[in-house]
């Protein structure tokens, strides 16, 4: 997990550095609000820029599917342990598909909520990122419930001790505020 985070950080830094170096005129880019698509368009031929942006779209699509899949897994696991409202429906596995159809539909509906108010690729990206915080929030909520029930009962090499509940509550406050932030993004130009 650490290697994946470090690798993503390194790749992100290289991408951002390359994008900044590709800006033809920094003052003009700032004045006109030049985004990554315009920078890529100015650095490549139209055909190469289109191909590059199609690869970016495919990568974002796969990441969104990954986020939804992990949220479905989290929701199913929590429902199976009877930790969510409608747990019986969310934990049911389809005999023909062998998948938790209720959790799949619920996550799909939750992911579609921003589309009721917002439209466009930018808002869809905001909503997809917000769903990451939903999965963190649900996991943090389950851990807080476990802590309030006396977990962990076994001593481990690393433990937060009395700070565990404080860290959980701060995590829930942060996650909740980020969910609200993503639900009401500032008006974009």
Extents of the domains making up the chain: 19-183
Number of H helices, E strands in the chain: 8, 0
Residue 45's Cβ-side half-sphere holds a number of Cα atoms within 13 Å equal to 2
100 close to 89: Cβ distance less than 8 angstroms: no
> Which residue stretches of the chain have pLDDT < 70?
118-121, 185-189
Q: Which residues of 47-64 are buried (b: 16+ CB within 10 A; e: fewer)?
A: eebeeeeeeeeeeeeeeb
Place of tokens 């899949």: 69
Q: What is the pTM of this model?
A: 0.57
The answer to whether 151 and 179 are in contact (CB under 8 A) is no
pLDDT for 187? 58
């Amino acid at each position: 997990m650490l290697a994946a985070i470090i690798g993503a950080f390194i790749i992100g830094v290289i991408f951002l550095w390359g994008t900044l170096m590709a800006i033809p005129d920094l003052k003009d880019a700032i004045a006109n609000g030049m985004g990554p698509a315009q920078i890529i368009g100015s650095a490549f031929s139209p055909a190469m820029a289109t191909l590059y942006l199609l690869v970016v779209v495919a990568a974002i699509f796969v990441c969104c599917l990954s986020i939804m899949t992990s949220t479905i897994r989290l929701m199913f696991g929590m429902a199976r342990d009877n930790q969510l409202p409608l747990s019986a429906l969310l934990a049911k596995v389809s005999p023909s598909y062998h998948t938790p159809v209720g959790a799949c539909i619920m996550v799909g509906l939750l992911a579609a909520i921003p589309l009721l108010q917002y439209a466009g690729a930018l808002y869809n990206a905001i909503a997809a990122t917000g769903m990451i915080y939903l999965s963190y929030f649900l996991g943090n909520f389950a851990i807080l419930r476990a802590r309030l029930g006396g977990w962990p009962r076994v001593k481990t090499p690393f433990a937060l001790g009395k700070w565990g509940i404080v860290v959980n509550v701060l995590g829930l406050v942060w996650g909740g505020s980020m969910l609200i932030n993503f639900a009401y993004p500032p008006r974009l130009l």
